[in-house]
Structure 1
């Protein structure tokens, strides 16, 4: 199976934002984009791509959605090879199967809100809790330009460098997959990496962080790393850091809880409240 960035599409504003984010990410990775409409549910209403032929009224809405989305991407991301398909079946199992075949899965998210949780959760939350590959959730109101730095008074954010990527580092159990994803993300964007970690014992935490990060800094010498030792709610600190970030990277320990898979309190807080895309990287 060729390496791809995969993205779920249902015609909602959230999924359209995710498709745009995924197409740009596929450009950064230099690999194809796979768009999937999962399940048998008809897609949400969406805005057609003007100027391109579309099926006659009454034609299958899913096929029309996929056709028009491909046309939109051909116009905006000409360098990306795009495939699009509809896969029947229940959404969560279908998307999880797609994720297993991809380097990265991208899904749209409204933000889960204070009352959302595993028992109430959306398709995106269910997938994040079970996926074997990294999953990025993109908010409906996120614009790609938010990832860029801007000059005061100008409106040309897309011409400016990326904001730093942010990594939530668990010093108790650091995992190479999470670290590698974060360093790769910063390297592809030619930007820095801001590492946020716990610091109840400041001197010990700084030394521990230096030991954990050193091999990755040697591997990615072009990535400038800054560290921030925080006390208290790590999730809240990562949410604060997201306001000046291009991407937030957090880990998820792949283990079963008493009521099934879960994502952990820090990751849950970040998914609820971060203002940019969040990458959740599973690890053991």
Structure 2
């Protein structure tokens, strides 16, 4: 494979020619998601599938108090808006625009079954301004078989700043597919990969006088342990992606807070999802859930491995 060829982490049971899929609903959030998905498809040299999941079917007949109805299967104001936005644009990837009848919270996650990436906005048309992540985004992040990118529009990168992808690394429970996805994304974008690994700190020790005090020695030992673990987990991917510059940060404190802060200067934040599918907390974990709710810009939630 040449250095210029797109490289993505692909498991044996994933369709290597799967499209990038973006869900649209006519909202400003889905407009941002569409633009992000267009770039992702071009970077991967992949087709783009644009889907509007329409919750309510069109009426079967014209009524006396309703305008004339266009009964074509793809007749929909949302897809008409998408087609108008894309008309005449150059360098578009091969794409399709579709309308599906169904329930967005149930059917949008299923779009990931045959996709290499599923993209959607952080809020739909029915979302409140204060709600940073809608129910469809939560459903996709916890259930979709492929990596899910939730795109938030309130992102302004510093002019002239070097492109940056941030990986939230859990040193005690790493997911190889998540790490590989972050490296591949950094390679595709020509970005530096900033790896943020949190450890519990500052370390407290119990003294003979009955007090808890911070221990610099214990803190340093914990930091060294996590640094070694992070290095071991990243080494195979650094060998595979020698052109990706890695900045590793092993820091004490709350992982979610550190990642949210790091997201302010990132083109993309990458976090992992747990194996279990029994409850929301187990599906995504508190850190991933907090990052989805509070991080700036685009967040990729990557399953431990493709289903």
Q: 1:270 to 1:14 in 2, by over 3 A?
A: same
Match of 1:8 among 15, 23, 32: 23
Q: 1:279 to 1:110 in 2, by over 3 A?
A: same
Aligned to 2:106: 93
Which whole-Å deviations, capped at 9, do the CAs of 1:192-226 have from their partners, x for residues lacking one?
Answer: 10000123411111111111111100100110001
TM-score normalised over the length of structure 1: 0.81
The 5-angstrom pairing of residues 28-177 of structure 1 reads: 28-41=43-56, 59=70, 63-110=76-123, 122-142=135-155, 146=156, 150-151=159-160, 163-177=163-177
Determine helix, strand or coil for the equivalent of 1:150: coil
Q: 1:20 to 1:41 in 2, by over 3 A?
A: farther
TM-score normalised over the length of structure 2: 0.75
8 Å contact 2:260–2:295 — kept in the other structure? yes
1:247 and 1:141 map into 2 onto residues whose CA distance is 13
2:230 and 2:243 map into 1 onto residues whose CA distance is 19
1:62 and 1:275 map into 2 onto residues whose CA distance is 34
Determine helix, strand or coil for the equivalent of 1:283: coil
1:228 and 1:234 map into 2 onto residues whose CA distance is 12
Greater mean deviation of Cα atoms: 199-208 or 58-67: 58-67
8 Å contact 2:122–2:134 — kept in the other structure? no
Q: Unpaired segments of 5 or more residues in structure 1?
A: 44-55, 152-160
State the shift of 1:58 in Å. Answer: 5.3
Q: 1:75 to 1:24 in 2, by over 3 A?
A: farther
8 Å contact 1:199–1:206 — kept in the other structure? no
Q: Unpaired segments of 5 or more residues in structure 2?
A: 1-14, 59-66, 201-221
2:247 and 2:57 map into 1 onto residues whose CA distance is 46
State the shift of 1:257 in Å. Answer: 3.6
Greater mean deviation of Cα atoms: 58-67 or 240-249: 58-67
8 Å contact 2:143–2:277 — kept in the other structure? no
Larger radius of gyration: 2
Determine helix, strand or coil for the equivalent of 1:243: helix
8 Å contact 2:105–2:135 — kept in the other structure? no
1:99 and 1:40 map into 2 onto residues whose CA distance is 18
State the shift of 1:191 in Å. Answer: 1.1
State the shift of 1:78 in Å. Answer: 2.7
State the shift of 1:62 in Å. Answer: 5.5
2:92 and 2:280 map into 1 onto residues whose CA distance is 44
1:216 aligns with 2:237: yes
1:23 aligns with 2:38: yes
1:249 aligns with 2:270: yes
CA RMSD of aligned residues (A): 2.9
2:31 and 2:153 map into 1 onto residues whose CA distance is 8
Q: 1:237 to 1:37 in 2, by over 3 A?
A: same
Determine helix, strand or coil for the equivalent of 1:256: coil
